[in-house]
Homo-oligomer: A and B are copies of this chain.
Amino acid sequence: MALAHKGLDAEVVPWRFTEAAALRFANYEKVPVLVDGERVLTDSTPIAEYLDDAYPDAPSLFRGAQASLRFTIAWTNSVLHPALVRFIVSDIAPLLSEPACSYFITSREQRFGMKLAEVTADRVERLPEFRAMLLPIRMVLAEQPFLGGAEPDYGDYAVFGAFQWARATSPFALLEHGDLVHAWRERMLDLHGGLARGVPAFD
């Protein structure tokens, strides 16, 4: 989405956690990794910041305020992602082939200290609390169509990334129709010629 926002083409290489060797050149153990000529960038936010710095003539992801968006990004990483995973983690393993599937189950069961089915067992009961947690997003969207204002910025892409991950891996309906956050996610799915809507997903 960030590359599309900047109007940049890229070759997309799928990658699995069990394919550590493929990323050795980047000295990094997970995605995203961006290779731009001689430059190797890792991790979403540094990549997005690099894109604004390296391509200043394309539409900005940060509108000159990279530091100001870091709270939105930190909330996404430390509140939204950990909450989301507890709704969908048991739906992910069945989508994976070996050895990724075994790696995923073992590492996640270790992290949660229980079977993945147990992590999500009470997800219907926890749903109201999750939706209440989205209140700050909802408050912003009551005033403007995107977190970034009239147009999306990297804050939108960061939050949307979490929802897109959930949508691509789980049929569980996290957002209610009629919720401003649901309507915003639909707008995000429409962006850049329906780029994110084109990914295989459950809704």
Residue ranges of A at the interface with B (Cβ–Cβ < 8 Å): 62-72, 74-75, 77-79, 135-137, 139-140, 143-144, 146-150, 153, 155
CA distance A7 to B193 in the complex (A): 46
CB distance from A132 to the nearest CB of B (A): 10
Are B78 and A72 neighbours in the complex by a CB distance under 8 Å?
no
Residue of B nearest to A139 (CB): B74
6 new A-B contacts, CB < 8 A, other than A67-B147, A67-B148, A79-B136, are: A62-B68, A65-B69, A66-B149, A70-B147, A71-B137, A74-B139
Residue numbers in B under 8 Å from A65 (CB-CB) = 62-65, 68-69, 153
Chain A interface mostly: helix
Q: Give 13 pairs: A residue, B residue, CB < 8 Å, sorted on A.
A: A62-B68, A65-B68, A67-B147, A67-B150, A68-B72, A68-B147, A70-B143, A70-B144, A71-B72, A74-B136, A74-B137, A75-B75, A79-B135
CA distance A65 to B52 in the complex (A): 14
Known A-B contacts A63-B64, A64-B64, A68-B149; A77 and B144 likewise in contact (beta carbons under 8 Å): no
Residue numbers in B under 8 Å from A72 (CB-CB) = 68, 71-72
Residue numbers in B under 8 Å from A135 (CB-CB) = 74, 78-79
The 6 closest A-B pairs by CB, nearest first: A67-B149, A65-B65, A74-B139, A74-B136, A75-B136, A71-B72
